[in-house]
Amino acid sequence: MKLTTRNYLFWRTQLLPFLRGQGLLGYIDGSLPCPPETISVTLASDDAAATTSTTAPNPAHTAWFQQDQSILSLLISSFSDEGSSSPADYLGKAQTIVEALALAGRPLSPNEQLLYVLHGLRPEFWAMASSLTVSGNPITLSQLADHLQAQEFIHADDFAVDSGADGSPSAFFAGRGSGTGDQGRQNGGGR
């Protein structure tokens, strides 16, 4: 999954507080560098005057590497497709980001909030988003939620699939003049 301008802010807002809270951010930002793979160990010999130096695996490196790989796994598993969440879910995520940014000292104005949310909408909501921005009347996220809910209701039939008797998708067809005589009128074709 590729991070894009549409999903990066939400992804980052979720991950950074977790990493900070667990004391793991240093692995990501480099402030907790990887210890060397080996360390120098001084061995005392039977002769008190003679000592030898050798290298040995560094246990701190092993522990750091294991933690780093766990964090890498967490980051990879945190990537998720933008998917097709419901408008309520999408706005809930957006509100979480808005609140997190405010707590981080970077509050968004209502206009910025609206623009970011509109930017991330699924294609079936783009026409509605365009009409809302062209109107010139500022709206809040809660008002946008009402618009999205209505738009989702309108589009619900566009995405419904009817299954035929054998379970495969089927389409209904009605056409003018599709039949002849009484048979055509009975099927709605002779209107």
Whether residues 76 and 95 share a domain: the answer is no
Whether residues 9 and 70 share a domain: the answer is yes
Reported as type and span, the H/E element at residue 56 is strand 51-57
Half-sphere exposure of 48 (CA within 13 A, CB side): 0
Whether residues 146 and 118 share a domain: the answer is yes
Composition of the chain by helix, strand, coil, percent to 5: 55, 10, 35
168 part of a folded domain: no
Q: What is the pLDDT of residue 169?
A: 45
Structural domain boundaries, residue 5: 1-37+54-82
Q: What is the pLDDT of residue 5?
A: 80
Whether residues 101 and 68 share a domain: the answer is no
pLDDT tens digits for the chain (191 residues)? 577 787 788 888 888 888 888 888 999 899 999 999 999 988 877 766 677 888 999 999 999 998 888 888 777 766 655 576 777 888 888 887 778 777 766 778 888 888 878 877 877 788 888 888 787 778 888 888 888 888 888 877 665 544 445 544 444 333 344 444 444 444 444 43
Whether residues 75 and 117 share a domain: the answer is no
Whether residues 1 and 77 share a domain: the answer is yes
